[in-house]
Amino acid sequence: MMTTAGWIALGITVFGAFSYATASILQAVAARRSSGTVETMRHPLYLLGILCDMLAWIGAIVALRELAVYVVESILAGSLAITVVAARIVLKSRLRGRDVTAVIVSVAALTVLAMSAGPQHDVVATTALRWSICAAALAMAVLGWSAARAAPAGVIAAMGGLCLGGAAMTGRALPRAPMDIVTDPLTAALLTFAVTGMLMYAHALGKGEVGPVTAIHWTAEVVAPSAVALLLLGDKVRTGWEVPAAAAVVVTIAAAVMLARAPASEAAAGEPLALECPLTPSIEAPPLPVLARAGIPVVAHRAGATGERIIWWGPPPIWRPPARPRPASQPAGRL
């Protein structure tokens, strides 16, 4: 049975799933408002998403001290179900019957995964294992830099998922003593995996559709690192729960793929965050793509709307009064 520390770690992981759901929406919107990876990384919404990512990531590293990699990564993949439900409630997006089914199936599969998790033993990393993980982190960073230049979005998303999964696996192998963590080479490998994975995911969102990119990203992040952790790090499944746990992982991935392609996920990624300004007068403006490319704050118009939706990030719009001709009877030197 799971210990008290294990249940606490499970709660931290669930909180991480909610944080990742929030971050995914913010980062996808930022990517759609930017023209490249560097600009995306500077976007305020992306930076806010990074903060949510960091909370989830730190929580996952803590949870990995008590839970197996396959449990933590599968629950984090359940953030897609949270994203779809939130999009339906907040953005009033369409939710298909298959999406409702996928959400329910995800919750059931994640419950099975939670029940299948038994107490985990501390990982004693050998010198060979340490340097193998460090070499893998460096290799993924080099390959990721090469792939970002020419590879399609799906390949970049898969490599980003492998990197973030590698960070989770590395976190499972870290020593417990704080001073040992600071001096251990695995810490450098963990940071390399994490930074590379985040950069590649942001780049993939900028090149491809958010649904397929997210589905590929989470599939790669869950499957390969979980298998490696079971084979090399000694992660254990609760006795008698091997088959249900394996089935739950497969179901979780399948549901994540379906939910990533859901209309609610697309709406959550593409809907601008805006404030309604009913008192703002209508203004004739050039087409929105022209304004966006020129770096001018965009005022989005909707047919039949009583007001305007003004995007609230970026430099504030500045109104300058038009030049007015002086009355003919007024001397030029007087105001």
Q: Which stretches of 117-151 are DSSP H helices?
A: 127-150
Place of tokens 């001073």: 179
Name the 3-class secondary structure at 126: coil
Q: Take residue 213 and report the two structure tokens written for it.
A: 């990119």
Q: How far apart are CA 168 and CA 222, in angstroms?
A: 10
pLDDT, averaged in runs of 10, over the chain (335 residues): 80 88 74 72 84 86 85 84 74 76 88 79 80 93 88 89 90 79 88 90 80 81 84 82 88 84 63 36 38 38 40 43 56 51
**DSSP letters spanning 179-236:** HHHHH-HHHHHHHHHHHHHHHHHHHHHHHS-HHHHHHHHHHHHHHHHHHHHHHHS---
Q: Take residue 245 and report the two structure tokens written for it.
A: 């746990």
Q: How far apart are CA 209 and CA 52, in angstroms?
A: 22
Q: What is the pLDDT of residue 1?
A: 63
Taking each helix axis from N to C end, the angle separating 79-90 and 263-270, rounded to the nearest 10 degrees, works out to 70
Q: What is the pLDDT of residue 134?
A: 93
Provide the β-strand partners of residue 310. 275, 299
